Each structure stands twice: as C-alpha cells, then as structure tokens.
Structure 1
C-alpha cells in the first residue's frame, strides 16, 4: 500500500469545506429508504438544503403519500433495492400519479451492476452511496437543470 505524505504542519486539522446554503431548485422531496439510519441522515441533508421532506421507509408508504393530492412533490429520491418493489417500479407508479415529478435513484451498488441486473437502465439519474451533502446537492441541481 502507498500512502502519500501529508505536507501540512503537524497539528493542523483538515476540515471539509462547509456547504454554503444553496438553493437546489427543489421545494419538496419524497425520500424513500428502507434503512432507518440512512433515511434519517439523508432527510437531514435535504433539510439542510432547505427542502421539505416526506421521509418514508417503504415503497407502499411512498405511494400513499404521492396519492394525497394535497401533498406537493418536486423530487422522488429513492433507493434502488428495497423490499416490496424496486426503485424503478416505485418511480413508474409515482410517475403515473405525478408525471411532472423528477426522480433520482440512489444505490450502494455500482451503476453497471444495477443495469446488468435489469433494475435500472443505463442513463437514468443515479447517485452512489455513500455521498456527501455537497454531492447530493450537485446531483439534484444537475437533474433539475436538465
């Protein structure tokens, strides 16, 4: 293994540049993640970006939220592999209810493995876990801008 030498003075701490509050062009996000810890972390990330978040742990609950005409949803942020149904099936059901809703998939698997298994086609918007708040904000801005 090769570890590069650190050129900073000893004792100086290296900190990630804090994310400045930035408008990502999304008001309300429907977040679907079956892992409770990740659900809470990603919800907090989105709230730091100024989003209102419906955070749910199952695809069926997500469909229930999306079926409520009083709830506005700008973006569906969903895990790809979940119990009950996969993220692509969920996105199709949400799009049937709300065709204007943008969709961003997230997964711990690489995009080529997901495409190979037939869960997602190549070219769909996907972010790999783990990700930082900054990377998520950039990915959402790219999606909204397209």
Structure 2
C-alpha cells in the first residue's frame, strides 16, 4: 500500500536528467535577447545618420587640429612623445595617419576616424547594457553617441 504522506510524482514538469558534473542551459525562444542585434544596428545607424552630415563642416576645435597635424607628422617620420609633445596617446594619431594613407590627408578622413571610434564606443556601451533591457540599451547608447 502506498504511503499517504509521500510527495506526488510529477512527470510532466520534470527537469531534464543530466549526468553528474554536467549542466544544461535553457534555450531562449523569444524576447528581447533575440532582437538585441537589431537594437545595436538601430542605435549605430542613428549615430551615423546624425554625425555624417557634420563630416564636411569646417575645423572647429584645437584638439581636432592637433590630431590632423600630429598624424601628418607621424607620416613624416616623427613620433609622438619623442619628437612631438602631446598629452594624448599615439593611437588616434596612428589611426588618423592610416586614414590619411587610404583617403588622403583631409579633414574628412580625420572625421571618419572619429566617427569610427565613436561607433566602437557606442557599441561597447550597448554590449555592456543590453542585459538590462532594450530601453536601457537605447538610452545608454543614445547618451554615449551624444558625446
């Protein structure tokens, strides 16, 4: 005879059986996780559409002029921190010098490098915030793109 105090056996809602030392990950079947790529694409597209018309504007800040001059000096063989005084790291000068080699030494080439760096920054912020939800990702990405 069965014991009346024993717990009932639930066969339909049973967890999958795994071997000791193994585990399974529940599969995502829907929700915002499946659309996370679209959020990233949408925010980056808004960034590019908003910033692209500003590529052709005249030179505005001294920092932008320094990037242009030092990138050209890097192409001429001078090195930042050795031959040229700068408080910034050499990475942006190297990227801009590479853009000068590809596109010519123009303000547009420097602005496209800036747009690329900003897109990388916004993508990184989105990657960090996407697990908080779509709304948080869009807000954080928009704030990062307004810098």
Fold match, TM over 0.5? Answer: no
Greater strand content = 1
More helix by share: 2
Of structures 1 and 2, the larger Rg is shown by 2
TM-score under structure 1 normalisation?
0.28
TM-score (structure 2 length as normaliser) = 0.28
